[in-house]
Structure 1
Amino acid sequence: MKIVGINTSPRKGSNSRIALVKALKTAKSKGADTVIYDLNDMNIRTCQADNYCVDNNGKCILDDDLQDVYKSIVESYGVILATPIYMGNVSSLAKIFIDRLHCLLRVDTVRDKKFSIIASQAAIEPPMYEYIKNNLDITSDIFQSIGFELEDVVLLIGNDSEEAILNKKDQLDKAVMVGNKITR
């Protein structure tokens, strides 16, 4: 069983990445092989919206580092997407990744694969929380429409500095829960 972690934060001390690593360590302790992709360190371009993938059985026209990620996803049991929340939504790297999953839309390579989202934000205000939760629900709907089976959407709030999550046992416990659920 392989679990793929997709980190879409550009920061080295990212709270969302710390939570992702915690979830992947939990999955590994349950026997999973794990891999993490830090998209900020990769050569990735935006979707060209040319429908090349539609006409070519899911093959993306772009020959960049995301090709390795696609292969890993196809071989996986599940995927965990980790994103910081910027301006009330997923990071721009998360959006690029989501857009580029269009190539998997019409092929059965991801049917019934598990999927979870871990998101971290600085804000703690309830109105902002509801807005972000709605955006995360939309994001999870996109993954489900591709064929993934949603396991979890976890929003970790109040992380207003790098590595803030390291002092929040309740949030680290939620990351452990994600790792446990995705390996079931």
Structure 2
Amino acid sequence: MTSHPDRSSWAQGARRSAARDRILAIAGDVFAQHGADASMSEIAAAVGCSRATLYRHFDSRTALQLAYVEQIAFTIGAAVTNRTAHLTAPDDRLTEAILFALTEVRADPALSAWFSPAGAGLASELALSSSAIETLANRFVGDYGAAGVTAARWIVRVIVSLLVVPAGPDERETIERFVTPAVLASFA
């Protein structure tokens, strides 16, 4: 029996995708335990593979970290969208989107380790360089072209800042009073 080239390519792609997903899931556990600076050796050991195998899937530690952050960002983005879909007022939707995103990141042990003082620099760099995170933040404000992209970048910076240095019990008020009006005014 001969194998069909499309089938073997598909199967190989599916196995590669499943391996990447498994690596990212286990990397999350390692990040929760060792922080954002976990080494490729630590991750490879936890996955049960060699560093060479890990590097076949991710050409650098930064690539693995960015893939992890983007995977989680899509999950959180979907949760934010579902959580705020019923809100019709733009100010309510934006405020709740930011607050819920903060809550979700803080609830994830791996991500909360990233936004500790020790990991904040790397986490900030990855979050601010991710086009996927920017795209998700753009959903918070809607389709406003270049102004929306600029606002989305600012929202990501605000979220990162609040993750690193929480505003405490006044966080909602801070967002409602300073962040939401500034973002929405930029579209007027």
In the superposition, the TM-score normalised over structure 1's length comes to 0.31
**Whose Rg is larger?**
2
**Structure with the higher fraction of residues in strand conformation:** 1
In the superposition, the TM-score normalised over structure 2's length comes to 0.31
**Structure with the higher fraction of residues in helix conformation:** 2
